Amino acid sequence: MASGVAQAEIKQINGAGATFPYPVYSQWADAYHKAKGVEFNYQAIGSGGGIKQVKAKTVDFGASDAPLKAEELDKHGLMQFPMIMGGVVPVVNIHGLGMGHMRLDGEVLADVFLGKIKYWDDKAIKALNPELKLPHRAITVVHRSDGSGTTFIYTNYLTKVSKSWADKVGNNKSVDWPVGVGGKGNQGVANYVNRINGSIGYVEYAYALQNKMNYVRLKNHDGHYVAPTAENFQSAAAGADWQHAPGYYMVLTDQPGAKSWPITGASFILVYKQADKPEVTKAVLKFFDWSYHHGQSMAEKLDYVPMPEAVVRMVEATWANDIKGADGTAVWSAADSM
């Protein structure tokens, strides 16, 4: 039986937030507009901005790569659900260095971003890369300048693998960076790294691909040096127990597995449990439902990891149970699914 919400003619839905999923959301938006005639207007302003805007009710939904804990969701009357998974990748610009030739472990990477390691030919980097001819060039660290879920995922990883990082900087969407220059959004970081010889930054993998950026191979939880690939993101995501994650709160960094990429994360959508405009909220859910069921191949081509079917069913059940109009009528039902 369909939900009791009348399906008014909604021609545009508006959201804001994470830049991490923007490449795939953009492709989904184009395909959905052609299929359904509804425009998906998404401003990639960073996870911090997306959370602020949905709390202020200035958008129909927010997007964040930094999941909110159940207490915060309850405080603001929100629910979140995971939409897509992917990897955050350290990228470097060192003239003459082959693609993926540099190896780093978590502790050395943290020391670079702490400013402890200042030159590319530092003994700690050379010890991990004895076959590389590394230049005596100063390292320029590039980080996000905005509140960012990509930063949340990246600093969550550094906090797990480096006590020094955990003690001095920690894990958040925005941190007090000890060194470096800031770029806005994944694209801003990518632009800086591409311009500065001797730089290192971190971006969502689709941006590394699109910008042909030189990625770093990382030592993972099981001690293997791995490259950022969809298969390795999938390995990290394989053990995620979404069923026992309150409010779908899940961070996928430093996961076990021989192939697991250590800086893997999910991207989340935030909507209100009590919908002021139930027909708009239903239009939002219809877009993401369509994307779950019809957007997998587009996601995979960009090296994102689609949500498993069992998780999609769980999310849709949560929509039906938790999201209500002002009169208490369910906004979503199983019959609405595409």
pLDDT at position 1: 38
**Digit-coded pLDDT (tens) for 173-202:** 999 999 999 999 999 999 999 999 999 999
Residue with token string 């960094």? 253
The percent of residues in the chain predicted with pLDDT above 70, rounded, is 98
* Residues in CB range of 297: below 8 A, 6 or more apart: none
CB 124 within 8 A of CB 111: yes
**Digit-coded pLDDT (tens) for 274-305:** 999 999 999 999 999 999 999 999 999 999 99
Tell whether pTM > 0.75. Answer: yes
Asked if 12-86+246-250+265-336 and 87-240 have one fold, the answer is yes
pLDDT category of residue 335 using cuts at 50, 70 and 90: confident
CB 235 within 8 A of CB 286: no
- Thinking of the domain 12-86+246-250+265-336, which architecture would CATH place it in? 3-Layer(aba) Sandwich (3.40)
115 pLDDT exceeds 70?
Answer: yes
**What does the domain layout of the chain look like in residue ranges?**
12-86+246-250+265-336, 87-240
pLDDT at position 160: 98
Query: How far is 317 from 308, CA to CA, in rounded Å?
Result: 15
pLDDT averaged over the chain?
95
Instruction: Give how far Cα 147 sits from Cα of 52, 96, 152, Å.
Output: 10, 33, 9
- Rounded average pLDDT over 212-234: 96
pLDDT category of residue 212 using cuts at 50, 70 and 90: very high
pLDDT at position 23: 94
CB 68 within 8 A of CB 270: yes
- Rounded average pLDDT over 306-313: 94
pLDDT at position 334: 85
pLDDT category of residue 8 using cuts at 50, 70 and 90: low
Strands 78-93 and 199-204 come out as antiparallel
138 pLDDT exceeds 90?
Answer: yes
Better pLDDT: 7 or 310: 310
Q: At what angle do helices 47-55 and 149-161 cross, to 10 degrees?
A: 120
Q: DSSP character for 172?
A: S
Class of domain 87-240: alpha beta
Alpha carbon 152 to its chain's center: 9
- 151-155, 312-316, 333-337: lowest mean pLDDT where? 333-337
pLDDT at position 2: 47
- Rounded average pLDDT over 215-221: 98
The percent of residues in the chain predicted with pLDDT above 90, rounded, is 94
Amino acid identity of residue 323, one-letter, is: I
What six digits make up the tokens of 183?
């770029």
Q: DSSP character for 30?
A: H
Alpha carbon 329 to its chain's center: 32
- Rounded average pLDDT over 200-222: 95
- Rounded average pLDDT over 29-54: 96
- Rounded average pLDDT over 80-92: 97
